[in-house]
């Protein structure tokens, strides 16, 4: 199917089903239930799942395949957002030209940075990419204010040209008239589900980018990238120059990041320098490692994991904790709230850091390794009866004393 082998096709179908049914899967608890705060099926969060999934998939092509760890990928995310908002300001609110320009600008910026940074490898490459990202942040924040609007952020104003904006076209981001904020709420008993146009645009983009990543992973180009990661020195001895391959991987990864930045601006037409900070680059590194670097589905899982718990833990405040433990005696209730409060609300980073440590310590291959371990356990249970039936040691042997 679509040029994929059976295993990859099955994985692709699973991703498509999960993406299209996310409004149902992410709202497992009734709207009026006390557990409803753990639901994640509302448009803003689902859009972030898809957008940062694209960001992580692209980063995995560079880091997972070639082993080059970039600490500056937020620069491409940021320039993608700026490019999209400029398209809104100059043309109209149709997101298609904005997204296309975001991909192009992200790729060109990655070509410039990659051409210089890839002269070095290992930690020196990582430091170079971090330096470029921080320089980009500083330029966007202060020096290039006519282009980026500095710390205020770039946004669309009523006096902007918008040469292609017609009178009957929506004055918010849209795709050929379908606004990104358009949402249809459906109530089914005690459950409420939201179907948002913006989410499905992002989800379809993620599905396409995931398919392209599969083709890259299984292509001869992907095999060359794996060879670079395995032993670049031996590859040099064979007479092959790895630099064009690593530069191509860097540019492709930058285009993915530019697309993610453009979609962020399409969901909210605002671009700020904070998207280019080193913390944003570190976040995509965590997503990829947490999900499983070098795997196809791992970065998507890692992005969803981090964005989900970031949202859930940050919403839990002291009042919510008191509601949870209201059935306990007052002294014990106050004690538990005091113990847990530093790990939620504003302290959600601490909980996320602990979860990341546990995954790295016990699942070095990320969440995908955990899934593989569970799968092996079930396969062993299924095979045990067959092994016992075929193993001659389990059949009683005739006694030597019987004539």
DSSP assignment string, 33-46: SGGGGG---SHHHH
Residue 272 belongs to a domain: yes
Residue 68 belongs to a domain: yes
| Cβ contact 22:49 at 8 Å | yes
Which residues is 94 bridged to in the sheet? 174
Residue 81 belongs to a domain: yes
| Cβ contact 239:225 at 8 Å | no
Q: In the prediction, which pLDDT does 263 show?
A: 96
Residue 20 belongs to a domain: yes
The C-alpha atoms of residue 235 and residue 105 are separated, in whole angstroms, by 32
Residue 343 belongs to a domain: no
Residue 332 belongs to a domain: no
Which residue positions in the chain have pLDDT lower than 50?
393, 402-403
Residue 148 belongs to a domain: yes
Number of separate domains in the chain? 1
Specify the CATH number for the domain of residue 83.
Answer: 1.10.3470
Q: In the prediction, which pLDDT does 395 show?
A: 52
Longest dimension (CA), the chain: 107
| Cβ contact 22:47 at 8 Å | no
The C-alpha atoms of residue 190 and residue 242 are separated, in whole angstroms, by 57
Residue 60 belongs to a domain: yes
Per-residue CA distances from 286 to 136, 289, 299, 303, 314 (Å): 21, 5, 9, 8, 18
Residue 165 has a CB neighbour count (10 Å cut-off) of 17
Domain region containing 114: 6-277
The C-alpha atoms of residue 28 and residue 128 are separated, in whole angstroms, by 44
The alpha carbon of residue 360 and the mean position of all alpha carbons in its chain are separated, in whole angstroms, by 18
Q: In the prediction, which pLDDT does 402 show?
A: 46
């Amino acid at each position: 199917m679509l040029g994929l082998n059976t295993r990859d096709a099955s994985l692709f179908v699973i991703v498509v089903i999960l993406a299209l049914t996310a409004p149902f899967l992410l709202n497992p608890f009734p709207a009026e239930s006390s557990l409803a705060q753990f639901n994640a099926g509302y448009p803003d969060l689902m859009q972030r799942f898809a957008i940062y999934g694209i960001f992580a998939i692209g980063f995995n092509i560079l880091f997972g395949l070639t082993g080059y760890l970039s600490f500056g990928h937020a620069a491409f995310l940021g320039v993608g957002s700026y490019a999209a908002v400029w398209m809104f300001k100059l043309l109209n609110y149709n997101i298609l030209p904005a997204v296309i320009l975001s991909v192009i600008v992200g790729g060109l910026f990655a070509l410039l940075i990659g051409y210089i940074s890839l002269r070095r490898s290992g930690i020196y490459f990582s430091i170079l990419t971090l330096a470029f990202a921080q320089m980009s942040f500083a330029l966007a924040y202060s020096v290039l204010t006519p282009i980026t609007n500095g710390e205020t952020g770039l946004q669309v104003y009523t006096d902007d040209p918008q040469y292609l904006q017609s009178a009957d076209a929506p004055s918010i981001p849209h795709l050929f008239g379908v606004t990104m904020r358009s949402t249809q709420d459906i109530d089914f008993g005690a459950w409420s589900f939201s179907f948002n146009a913006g989410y499905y645009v992002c989800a379809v983009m993620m599905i396409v980018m995931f398919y392209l990543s599969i083709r890259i992973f299984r292509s001869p180009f992907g095999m060359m990238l794996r060879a670079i990661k395995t032993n670049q020195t031996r590859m040099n001895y064979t007479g092959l120059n790895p630099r064009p391959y690593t530069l191509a991987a860097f540019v492709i990864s930058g285009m993915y990041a530019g697309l993610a930045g453009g979609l962020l601006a399409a969901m909210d037409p605002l671009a700020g320098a904070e998207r280019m900070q080193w913390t944003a680059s570190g976040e995509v590194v965590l997503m990829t490692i947490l999900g499983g670097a070098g795997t196809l589905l791992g970065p998507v899982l890692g992005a969803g994991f981090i964005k989900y718990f970031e949202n859930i833990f940050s919403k839990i405040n002291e009042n919510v904790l008191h509601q949870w433990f209201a059935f306990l005696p007052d002294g014990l209730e106050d004690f538990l709230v005091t113990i847990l409060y530093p790990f939620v609300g504003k302290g959600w980073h601490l909980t996320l850091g602990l979860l990341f440590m546990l995954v790295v310590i016990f699942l070095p291959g990320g969440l995908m390794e955990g899934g593989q371990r569970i799968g092996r356990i079930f396969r062993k249970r299924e095979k045990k009866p067959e092994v016992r039936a075929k193993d001659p040691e389990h059949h009683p042997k005739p006694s030597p004393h019987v004539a």
